[in-house]
Homo-oligomer: A and B are copies of this chain.
Amino acid sequence: MNFKYPVWHRLHKQTNKTVLISAADKSGLPAGSLVHIGKKHETACRISITQYNEDTLKQCEIKSISELQQLQDNKSIIWVNIDGLSDTSIVEHIGAELNIHPLVLEDILSTHQRPKLEEYEDYIYLVVKSISAQYNGNLDLRYEQISILLLANYVITFKEKADEIFKPVYYRMQNRKDRLRQSGSDYLAYVLLDTIVDEYFVVEDCLDDIIDPLEDSLLSNPTKEMLHTIQLLRRNLIAMKRSISPLRELLTTIQHANTALLHEKTLRYYGDVHDHVLRVTDSLDSYRERIASIQDIYLSSISNKLNETMKILTIFASIFIPLTFIAGIYGMNFEHMPELKWRWAYPALWIIFIAIGIGLLIYFRKKKWL
Protein backbone atom coordinates (compact mmCIF):
# COMPACT_ATOMS: atom_id res chain seq x y z
CA MET A 1 0.00 0.00 0.00
CA ASN A 2 1.13 3.48 -0.78
CA PHE A 3 0.83 6.30 1.75
CA LYS A 4 1.53 9.99 1.29
CA TYR A 5 2.28 12.09 4.36
CA PRO A 6 1.64 15.65 3.32
CA VAL A 7 1.18 17.19 6.74
CA TRP A 8 4.22 15.50 8.15
CA HIS A 9 6.41 16.58 5.27
CA ARG A 10 5.18 20.10 5.42
CA LEU A 11 6.22 20.20 9.03
CA HIS A 12 9.75 19.16 8.28
CA LYS A 13 10.14 21.54 5.44
CA GLN A 14 9.00 24.38 7.60
CA THR A 15 11.29 23.63 10.49
CA ASN A 16 14.22 23.97 8.14
CA LYS A 17 13.07 27.38 7.06
CA THR A 18 12.03 28.98 10.34
CA VAL A 19 12.36 28.27 13.99
CA LEU A 20 8.66 28.75 14.56
CA ILE A 21 6.47 25.68 14.60
CA SER A 22 2.91 26.87 14.93
CA ALA A 23 0.35 24.81 16.77
CA ALA A 24 -1.30 24.07 13.49
CA ASP A 25 1.77 22.40 12.11
CA LYS A 26 1.75 19.92 14.89
CA SER A 27 -1.56 18.61 13.61
CA GLY A 28 -0.84 15.11 12.50
CA LEU A 29 1.78 14.36 15.09
CA PRO A 30 0.86 11.67 17.58
CA ALA A 31 -0.21 13.06 20.93
CA GLY A 32 2.67 12.73 23.30
CA SER A 33 5.46 13.48 20.84
CA LEU A 34 7.66 16.04 22.54
CA VAL A 35 8.29 18.95 20.25
CA HIS A 36 8.60 22.49 21.52
CA ILE A 37 5.75 24.47 19.97
CA GLY A 38 5.94 28.23 20.18
CA LYS A 39 8.46 31.00 19.61
CA LYS A 40 11.88 29.62 20.32
CA HIS A 41 13.76 31.88 22.67
CA GLU A 42 17.50 31.83 22.24
CA THR A 43 18.03 31.17 25.91
CA ALA A 44 19.89 28.06 26.73
CA CYS A 45 17.96 26.05 29.26
CA ARG A 46 18.93 26.79 32.84
CA ILE A 47 17.94 24.56 35.73
CA SER A 48 17.99 26.24 39.14
CA ILE A 49 17.42 24.19 42.25
CA THR A 50 16.22 25.64 45.55
CA GLN A 51 16.09 23.23 48.44
CA TYR A 52 14.72 24.46 51.71
CA ASN A 53 13.09 23.69 54.98
CA GLU A 54 12.71 25.72 58.11
CA ASP A 55 16.39 25.44 58.96
CA THR A 56 18.32 25.23 55.74
CA LEU A 57 18.27 26.87 52.32
CA LYS A 58 20.43 25.66 49.47
CA GLN A 59 20.44 27.15 46.01
CA CYS A 60 22.35 25.89 43.02
CA GLU A 61 22.23 25.33 39.30
CA ILE A 62 22.52 21.87 37.82
CA LYS A 63 23.41 20.81 34.31
CA SER A 64 21.37 17.67 34.06
CA ILE A 65 18.23 16.36 35.65
CA SER A 66 20.05 13.24 36.80
CA GLU A 67 21.78 15.32 39.47
CA LEU A 68 18.36 15.89 40.99
CA GLN A 69 18.18 12.45 42.52
CA GLN A 70 21.16 13.06 44.78
CA LEU A 71 19.43 16.01 46.41
CA GLN A 72 16.35 14.14 47.38
CA ASP A 73 15.56 13.73 51.07
CA ASN A 74 12.29 13.70 52.94
CA LYS A 75 12.84 16.68 55.11
CA SER A 76 12.99 19.50 52.61
CA ILE A 77 11.05 20.96 49.72
CA ILE A 78 12.82 21.09 46.38
CA TRP A 79 11.88 23.75 43.86
CA VAL A 80 13.23 23.10 40.38
CA ASN A 81 12.92 26.07 38.07
CA ILE A 82 13.63 25.56 34.37
CA ASP A 83 14.16 28.67 32.23
CA GLY A 84 13.81 27.99 28.51
CA LEU A 85 12.12 25.09 26.82
CA SER A 86 14.34 24.61 23.78
CA ASP A 87 16.02 21.53 25.17
CA THR A 88 13.14 19.06 25.16
CA SER A 89 15.28 16.34 26.64
CA ILE A 90 15.14 18.03 30.05
CA VAL A 91 11.36 17.80 30.08
CA GLU A 92 11.59 14.22 28.91
CA HIS A 93 14.00 13.38 31.73
CA ILE A 94 11.82 14.95 34.36
CA GLY A 95 8.86 13.06 32.95
CA ALA A 96 10.71 9.79 33.25
CA GLU A 97 12.14 10.57 36.68
CA LEU A 98 8.87 11.61 38.29
CA ASN A 99 6.52 9.49 36.25
CA ILE A 100 4.62 12.33 34.59
CA HIS A 101 1.85 11.60 32.06
CA PRO A 102 3.05 12.12 28.46
CA LEU A 103 0.17 14.53 27.75
CA VAL A 104 1.43 16.80 30.52
CA LEU A 105 4.94 16.81 29.09
CA GLU A 106 3.52 17.67 25.71
CA ASP A 107 1.51 20.55 27.20
CA ILE A 108 4.55 21.92 29.02
CA LEU A 109 6.39 22.24 25.74
CA SER A 110 3.52 23.66 23.75
CA THR A 111 3.32 27.30 24.80
CA HIS A 112 -0.13 27.96 23.35
CA GLN A 113 -1.92 26.36 26.27
CA ARG A 114 -5.02 27.80 27.83
CA PRO A 115 -4.50 28.23 31.60
CA LYS A 116 -5.73 25.02 33.20
CA LEU A 117 -5.34 22.63 36.07
CA GLU A 118 -5.08 18.89 35.87
CA GLU A 119 -5.12 16.61 38.86
CA TYR A 120 -3.21 13.35 38.63
CA GLU A 121 -2.72 10.76 41.27
CA ASP A 122 0.46 12.10 42.80
CA TYR A 123 0.82 15.49 41.25
CA ILE A 124 -1.10 18.51 40.10
CA TYR A 125 -0.30 20.21 36.81
CA LEU A 126 -0.99 23.93 36.42
CA VAL A 127 -0.48 26.14 33.37
CA VAL A 128 -0.75 29.90 33.76
CA LYS A 129 0.28 32.87 31.67
CA SER A 130 2.38 35.59 33.21
CA ILE A 131 2.00 39.01 31.66
CA SER A 132 4.50 41.79 32.04
CA ALA A 133 4.02 45.26 30.66
CA GLN A 134 6.25 48.06 29.58
CA TYR A 135 4.92 51.39 28.52
CA ASN A 136 7.13 53.87 26.79
CA GLY A 137 4.86 55.57 24.30
CA ASN A 138 3.79 52.20 23.01
CA LEU A 139 2.29 49.55 25.22
CA ASP A 140 4.38 46.43 25.12
CA LEU A 141 2.86 43.36 26.75
CA ARG A 142 4.92 40.21 27.04
CA TYR A 143 3.26 36.88 27.67
CA GLU A 144 4.98 33.88 29.10
CA GLN A 145 3.58 30.44 29.73
CA ILE A 146 4.54 29.08 33.12
CA SER A 147 3.86 25.45 33.91
CA ILE A 148 3.86 24.38 37.53
CA LEU A 149 4.11 20.76 38.61
CA LEU A 150 3.18 20.32 42.25
CA LEU A 151 4.28 17.10 43.91
CA ALA A 152 4.45 16.15 47.56
CA ASN A 153 8.00 17.42 48.02
CA TYR A 154 8.70 19.06 44.72
CA VAL A 155 7.57 22.08 42.83
CA ILE A 156 8.82 22.19 39.28
CA THR A 157 8.30 25.35 37.22
CA PHE A 158 8.87 25.59 33.49
CA LYS A 159 9.32 29.05 32.01
CA GLU A 160 9.76 30.07 28.39
CA LYS A 161 12.22 32.81 29.14
CA ALA A 162 14.89 33.57 31.70
CA ASP A 163 13.18 36.63 33.14
CA GLU A 164 13.08 37.73 36.75
CA ILE A 165 9.45 37.20 37.56
CA PHE A 166 10.20 34.82 40.45
CA LYS A 167 12.84 37.04 42.05
CA PRO A 168 10.50 38.18 44.85
CA VAL A 169 9.99 34.54 45.77
CA TYR A 170 13.72 33.97 46.04
CA TYR A 171 13.89 37.04 48.22
CA ARG A 172 11.19 35.83 50.58
CA MET A 173 12.95 32.54 50.92
CA GLN A 174 15.96 34.22 52.50
CA ASN A 175 13.81 35.04 55.48
CA ARG A 176 13.85 32.05 57.78
CA LYS A 177 10.72 33.20 59.61
CA ASP A 178 8.62 33.55 56.48
CA ARG A 179 5.64 31.26 56.37
CA LEU A 180 7.04 29.99 53.08
CA ARG A 181 9.97 28.33 54.79
CA GLN A 182 7.71 26.68 57.30
CA SER A 183 5.16 25.28 54.87
CA GLY A 184 4.98 22.56 52.26
CA SER A 185 5.19 22.51 48.51
CA ASP A 186 1.54 23.56 48.18
CA TYR A 187 2.35 26.88 49.85
CA LEU A 188 5.27 27.40 47.50
CA ALA A 189 2.98 26.80 44.54
CA TYR A 190 0.59 29.36 46.03
CA VAL A 191 3.40 31.90 46.40
CA LEU A 192 4.41 31.38 42.79
CA LEU A 193 0.84 31.79 41.56
CA ASP A 194 0.38 34.86 43.73
CA THR A 195 3.55 36.39 42.31
CA ILE A 196 2.28 35.85 38.78
CA VAL A 197 -1.14 37.30 39.57
CA ASP A 198 0.39 40.32 41.30
CA GLU A 199 2.15 41.14 38.05
CA TYR A 200 -1.27 41.58 36.46
CA PHE A 201 -1.86 44.57 38.71
CA VAL A 202 1.31 46.19 37.38
CA VAL A 203 -0.12 45.72 33.89
CA GLU A 204 -3.37 47.33 34.97
CA ASP A 205 -1.52 50.33 36.31
CA CYS A 206 0.09 50.61 32.91
CA LEU A 207 -3.33 50.54 31.26
CA ASP A 208 -4.55 53.26 33.60
CA ASP A 209 -1.59 55.37 32.60
CA ILE A 210 -2.76 55.14 29.00
CA ILE A 211 -6.54 55.26 29.31
CA ASP A 212 -6.87 58.11 31.79
CA PRO A 213 -5.10 60.79 29.71
CA LEU A 214 -6.74 59.41 26.58
CA GLU A 215 -10.16 59.90 28.10
CA ASP A 216 -9.34 63.41 29.24
CA SER A 217 -7.94 64.71 25.96
CA LEU A 218 -10.63 63.03 23.92
CA LEU A 219 -13.31 65.67 23.98
CA SER A 220 -11.04 68.65 23.62
CA ASN A 221 -8.91 67.41 20.77
CA PRO A 222 -9.58 64.08 19.05
CA THR A 223 -6.71 63.00 16.82
CA LYS A 224 -6.30 60.16 14.41
CA GLU A 225 -3.61 58.58 16.60
CA MET A 226 -6.17 57.99 19.32
CA LEU A 227 -7.96 55.57 17.09
CA HIS A 228 -4.76 53.63 16.83
CA THR A 229 -4.32 53.59 20.60
CA ILE A 230 -7.92 52.51 21.11
CA GLN A 231 -7.43 49.69 18.63
CA LEU A 232 -4.24 48.63 20.38
CA LEU A 233 -5.83 48.66 23.81
CA ARG A 234 -8.74 46.63 22.59
CA ARG A 235 -6.52 43.95 21.15
CA ASN A 236 -4.50 43.78 24.32
CA LEU A 237 -7.59 43.57 26.49
CA ILE A 238 -8.93 40.70 24.39
CA ALA A 239 -5.62 38.90 24.68
CA MET A 240 -5.31 39.54 28.41
CA LYS A 241 -8.79 38.32 29.07
CA ARG A 242 -8.07 35.09 27.26
CA SER A 243 -4.99 34.58 29.42
CA ILE A 244 -6.49 35.55 32.74
CA SER A 245 -10.14 34.56 32.82
CA PRO A 246 -9.57 30.77 32.80
CA LEU A 247 -7.73 31.31 36.10
CA ARG A 248 -11.04 31.96 37.87
CA GLU A 249 -12.28 28.51 37.07
CA LEU A 250 -8.85 27.04 37.81
CA LEU A 251 -8.75 28.56 41.27
CA THR A 252 -12.29 27.50 42.05
CA THR A 253 -11.29 23.96 41.12
CA ILE A 254 -8.18 24.11 43.29
CA GLN A 255 -10.18 25.20 46.31
CA HIS A 256 -12.54 22.26 45.96
CA ALA A 257 -9.87 19.77 44.95
CA ASN A 258 -9.95 16.64 47.01
CA THR A 259 -6.28 15.82 47.15
CA ALA A 260 -3.68 15.18 49.82
CA LEU A 261 -1.28 17.49 47.99
CA LEU A 262 -3.08 20.60 49.20
CA HIS A 263 -3.40 21.15 52.95
CA GLU A 264 -6.59 22.68 54.14
CA LYS A 265 -4.76 25.60 55.71
CA THR A 266 -3.27 26.56 52.35
CA LEU A 267 -6.65 26.64 50.63
CA ARG A 268 -7.44 30.00 52.29
CA TYR A 269 -4.40 31.38 50.50
CA TYR A 270 -5.55 30.06 47.15
CA GLY A 271 -8.86 31.75 47.95
CA ASP A 272 -6.95 34.98 48.34
CA VAL A 273 -5.39 34.58 44.89
CA HIS A 274 -8.87 33.83 43.59
CA ASP A 275 -10.07 37.19 44.96
CA HIS A 276 -7.19 38.91 43.23
CA VAL A 277 -8.01 37.26 39.92
CA LEU A 278 -11.65 38.28 40.28
CA ARG A 279 -10.50 41.81 40.88
CA VAL A 280 -8.32 41.75 37.77
CA THR A 281 -11.06 40.35 35.54
CA ASP A 282 -13.54 42.89 36.92
CA SER A 283 -11.09 45.60 35.99
CA LEU A 284 -10.57 44.15 32.53
CA ASP A 285 -14.31 44.21 31.97
CA SER A 286 -14.57 47.79 33.04
CA TYR A 287 -11.55 48.76 30.93
CA ARG A 288 -13.29 47.20 28.01
CA GLU A 289 -16.45 49.16 28.61
CA ARG A 290 -14.43 52.33 28.97
CA ILE A 291 -12.62 51.65 25.72
CA ALA A 292 -15.91 51.05 23.96
CA SER A 293 -17.25 54.27 25.38
CA ILE A 294 -14.06 56.13 24.42
CA GLN A 295 -14.45 54.96 20.85
CA ASP A 296 -18.07 56.10 20.82
CA ILE A 297 -17.04 59.50 22.11
CA TYR A 298 -14.28 59.66 19.53
CA LEU A 299 -16.78 59.05 16.77
CA SER A 300 -19.08 61.66 18.23
CA SER A 301 -16.26 64.15 18.31
CA ILE A 302 -15.56 63.55 14.67
CA SER A 303 -19.21 64.06 13.87
CA ASN A 304 -19.14 67.24 15.88
CA LYS A 305 -16.13 68.46 13.98
CA LEU A 306 -17.78 67.66 10.66
CA ASN A 307 -20.79 69.59 11.78
CA GLU A 308 -18.76 72.63 12.66
CA THR A 309 -16.95 72.48 9.33
CA MET A 310 -20.25 72.28 7.52
CA LYS A 311 -21.63 75.20 9.46
CA ILE A 312 -18.76 77.46 8.44
CA LEU A 313 -18.97 76.37 4.82
CA THR A 314 -22.70 76.93 4.80
CA ILE A 315 -22.43 80.36 6.35
CA PHE A 316 -19.78 81.48 3.87
CA ALA A 317 -21.54 80.05 0.88
CA SER A 318 -24.99 81.19 1.90
CA ILE A 319 -23.93 84.75 2.48
CA PHE A 320 -21.75 85.27 -0.55
CA ILE A 321 -23.58 83.24 -3.17
CA PRO A 322 -26.60 85.57 -3.45
CA LEU A 323 -24.33 88.62 -3.27
CA THR A 324 -22.16 87.32 -6.06
CA PHE A 325 -25.28 86.68 -8.11
CA ILE A 326 -26.37 90.28 -7.70
CA ALA A 327 -22.92 91.52 -8.65
CA GLY A 328 -23.10 89.23 -11.69
CA ILE A 329 -26.37 90.82 -12.78
CA TYR A 330 -24.89 94.30 -12.95
CA GLY A 331 -21.88 92.92 -14.77
CA MET A 332 -24.14 92.00 -17.69
CA ASN A 333 -23.66 93.92 -20.89
CA PHE A 334 -27.28 94.55 -21.91
CA GLU A 335 -27.74 97.86 -23.65
CA HIS A 336 -30.97 98.61 -21.88
CA MET A 337 -30.31 98.34 -18.15
CA PRO A 338 -31.70 101.53 -16.62
CA GLU A 339 -30.18 100.92 -13.13
CA LEU A 340 -26.68 101.21 -14.57
CA LYS A 341 -27.19 104.87 -15.26
CA TRP A 342 -28.81 105.84 -11.93
CA ARG A 343 -26.67 108.20 -9.91
CA TRP A 344 -26.87 106.43 -6.51
CA ALA A 345 -27.28 102.87 -7.77
CA TYR A 346 -23.82 101.75 -6.76
CA PRO A 347 -23.90 102.98 -3.14
CA ALA A 348 -27.50 101.70 -2.87
CA LEU A 349 -26.32 98.28 -3.96
CA TRP A 350 -23.67 98.30 -1.23
CA ILE A 351 -26.41 98.94 1.28
CA ILE A 352 -28.37 96.02 -0.16
CA PHE A 353 -25.25 93.79 0.04
CA ILE A 354 -24.73 94.65 3.69
CA ALA A 355 -28.41 94.22 4.50
CA ILE A 356 -28.55 90.78 2.94
CA GLY A 357 -25.35 89.77 4.78
CA ILE A 358 -26.61 90.95 8.15
CA GLY A 359 -30.04 89.44 7.54
CA LEU A 360 -28.55 86.03 6.87
CA LEU A 361 -26.27 86.28 9.89
CA ILE A 362 -29.28 87.04 12.10
CA TYR A 363 -31.12 84.09 10.58
CA PHE A 364 -28.22 81.76 11.32
CA ARG A 365 -27.90 83.05 14.85
CA LYS A 366 -31.55 82.31 15.37
CA LYS A 367 -30.82 78.77 14.14
CA LYS A 368 -28.15 78.58 16.90
CA TRP A 369 -25.33 78.21 14.40
CA LEU A 370 -23.26 81.12 15.58
Name A residues whose Cβ lies closer than 8 Å to a Cβ of B: 1, 3-8, 22-32, 59, 101, 103, 107, 112-114, 116, 118, 164, 167-168, 170-172, 174-175, 178-180, 191, 194-195, 198-199, 201-205, 215, 218-219, 221, 224, 227-228, 231, 234-235, 238-239, 242, 268-269, 271-272, 275, 278-279, 282, 286, 289-290, 293, 295-314, 316-318, 320-325, 327-337, 339-346, 349, 367-369
10 A-B pairs closest in CB distance:
A27-B198, A327-B328, A28-B168, A330-B332, A24-B201, A331-B331, A24-B202, A313-B314, A24-B205, A320-B321
Structural contact, A296 and B295, CB atoms closer than 8 A: yes
Copies in the complex: 5
Q: Which single member of B6, B168, B195, B282 contacts A5 (CB below 8 Å)?
A: B168
The minimal Cβ–Cβ distance linking A224 to chain B, given in whole angstroms, is: 6
Q: Given the complex of chains A and B, what is the CA–CA distance between A106 and B340 in angstroms?
A: 89
With A6-B167, A299-B303, A369-B309 known as contacts, the answer to whether A321 contacts B321 (CB < 8 A) is: yes
Structural contact, B227 and A23, CB atoms closer than 8 A: no
Closest to A314 in B: B313
* Residue of A171, A282, A286 contacting most chain B CB atoms (<10 Å): A171
A368 neighbours in B (Cβ, 8 Å): 221
Q: Which single member of B7, B242, B324, B369 contacts A286 (CB below 8 Å)?
A: B242
